Amino acid sequence: MLPKKLAKAIHWKPEFSVGIPHIDDEHKELIGLIQALETLAGAADHETLERILSTLSEYTKRHFLSEETMMKKMEYPKLIEHRNQHRAFIHKVSEFEVQFQSNKAAELSDEILKYLWTWLTTHILVHDKAYEAFRKERNIRAPIF
Ligand SMILES: [Fe+2]
Ligand SMILES: [Fe+2]
């Protein structure tokens, strides 16, 4: 189990909002999946956790594609840098997934949960908010998905 403080911290907060409802919804979904992993780690069977981890991995890819398409449309100058961050995270999540799937005795460690949560929230607060600041600065209409 995670240190109580971190377990308690895993939930959506208004400060995570980037101001685009579609993107906020996707972030909420991702946070919900990390929350589910945290709640069920050590309680659910290995297969259930594998399934949630794989849903998280698939959903992450979908979300990143939404953002990358949007950044491309608004000609965001830091698209490549942002995409590289996404790619590194996808790689890391697949690594966790493969390791977890290949060892049925493995536990979903606090380190993994902490990594997922810290990466996602830092990325939202710093990098996702940066494309939104750019959009507002250039007065680009909020994308319609
Ligand atoms: Fe995002
Ligand atoms: Fe992003």
Residues 68-91: tens digit of each pLDDT: 999 999 999 999 999 999 999 999
Average pLDDT estimate for 40-51: 90
Q: 88-141, pLDDT tens digit by residue? A: 999 999 999 999 999 888 888 888 999 999 999 999 999 999 999 999 999 888
Which ranges in the chain belong to alpha helices (H)? 4-9, 21-40, 46-73, 79-102, 110-122, 129-137
> What are the b/e assignments for 39-55, b being 16+ CB within 10 Å?
eebeebeeeebbebbee
CB-neighbour burial class of residue 31 (10 A; exposed 0-12, middle 13-18, buried 19+): buried
- pTM of the prediction? 0.92
For ligand 2, the distance from its centroid to the CA atom of residue 40, given in whole angstroms, is 26
The CATH number corresponding to 19-137 among 3.40.50.1000, 1.10.357.10, 1.20.120.50, 2.40.50.180 equals: 1.20.120.50
Task: Provide the residue ranges of all domains of the chain, joining segments of one domain with +.
Answer: 19-137
Question: Residue 105 C-alpha to ligand 2 middle, in angstroms?
Answer: 33
Question: How many of the other CB atoms lie within 10 Å of CB of 37?
Answer: 22
How far does Cα 117 stand from its chain's mean position?
8
Ligand 1 centroid from CA 51, angstroms: 22
- Calculate mean pLDDT across residues 38-63: 93
**pLDDT score at 83:** 98
